[in-house]
Amino acid sequence: MSDATAAPPPARGEALLATVTPRQLAWRRFKRHRLALVSAVVLGVLYLLALFCELVAPYSPQTRNVAAINAPPMGIRFFHTDGFHLRPFVYGYDMRVNPDTWMREYTPNVGKRYPLRFFASGDEHTLWNLLPSTRHLFVAEGGYIHLFGTDQLGRDVFSRILYGARVSLSIGVAGVVLTFVLGILFGGVAGYLGGITDRAVQWFIAVLLALPTLPLWMALSAALPVSWSPLAVYFGVTVILSLLGWPYLARQVRGRFLALRQEDFVIAGRLLGAGRMRVILRHMLPNFMSHTITAATLAVPFMILGETALSFLGIGLRPPVVSWGVLMQQAQNWQVIVMTPWLLLPGLFVIIAVTAFNLLGDGLRDAADPYNTGGLE
């Protein structure tokens, strides 16, 4: 036993592992989640569209096209009667009122060919309320283009979905940021101080979680004064969503905090003589943020769904504000759903965004586990 052995043989895959940082390792683990990766891209595109909705949308959300009321989606085409065209185009509609049902019926007219012009002039808009412009990503020259059809006032559904994305997607993030602040504050304080404070916060959280969420949301939203400006209502709804969402996050934060405090490396830090600040900043926070970001990602869908639900019921955001929930108000009766099913498209976007956030959260959760070497070991 007395002869000291040489250094042990290297671990398998060490050559590869040796050179990467924890962040790179997390990225490796994340990349293995194809769905999470795709979701990240989808969300990136959605948020870009929302950010530049004035440019991307061919119309302003209130522009009415009386020539196309309740018109179905128009397809982008490349083949005309005379063959292939490099410049895409759409066919304008011929409308006739069905004498039996009194419904408008639209048929594409090959004679009304509207070629698409990119970065051309269209409706006036003010990007981010700062830069007035008339440029749009695409406009239909000499006619109109409604990729997702129009509603009963002749407004372009595609444009309205983009403007709605800005409100719905940003409310999700704003709500989560606020939830985050409250959750980390309460959860962290409870987890760190322990004792009476912990029990008081725990009790408070238990009570909040026991309240039925939907009726409470409704009651609080209904209490928002009708006279408030759209912006005030927007913030009001955000606050309401966060007020009821933070207990979940606070619970997770607290649990994570308690668990981390028991981790050997945190105890090791304390035993080395590290002060509170060093233990928290150097050992706990870096190992804590990844989990919290995951929790936050998984919380965004609740916010988006909350806004949609409230607005759909008419007690959240109200017209003329455009959000996905507001848009879906139009699809509240079966007649609309049968005759103009494209008015349900905002719902599809809600589903896409919510699913993408959930999948992204799953990927992040796995990537956040520092002991998982991503199949490299």
Q: Binding residues for another protein, per CB under 8 A?
A: 1-8, 10-11, 14, 17-18, 20-22, 25, 263-265, 267-275, 278, 282-283, 286-287, 370-371, 373
Question: If you ran DSSP here, which 8-state letter would residue 283 be given?
Answer: I
Of 24 and 126, which has the nearer Cβ to another protein? 24
Least separation in angstroms between CB 370 and another protein = 4
Least separation in angstroms between CB 257 and another protein = 16
Q: How many angstroms separate the CA atoms of 150 and 180, rounded?
A: 38
Exposure string for 65-85, b = 16+ CB within 10 A, e = fewer = beebbbbbebeeeeeeeeeee
Least separation in angstroms between CB 19 and another protein = 8
Least separation in angstroms between CB 2 and another protein = 7
Least separation in angstroms between CB 26 and another protein = 10
Handedness of CA 30, 31, 33, 38 (dihedral sign): positive
Of 61 and 374, which has the nearer Cβ to another protein? 374
Q: How many angstroms separate the CA atoms of 305 and 217, rounded?
A: 12
Of 160 and 365, which has the nearer Cβ to another protein? 365
Q: How many angstroms separate the CA atoms of 246 and 244, rounded?
A: 6
Q: How many angstroms separate the CA atoms of 354 and 242, rounded?
A: 17
**In the numeric block, which tokens belong to residue 306?**
């909350």
Of 272 and 338, which has the nearer Cβ to another protein? 272
Of 228 and 265, which has the nearer Cβ to another protein? 265
Of 41 and 268, which has the nearer Cβ to another protein? 268
Q: How many angstroms separate the CA atoms of 286 and 291, rounded?
A: 10
Taking residue 303's Cβ as centre, other Cβ atoms within 10 Å add up to 27
- Return the SS3 of 113: strand
Least separation in angstroms between CB 261 and another protein = 11
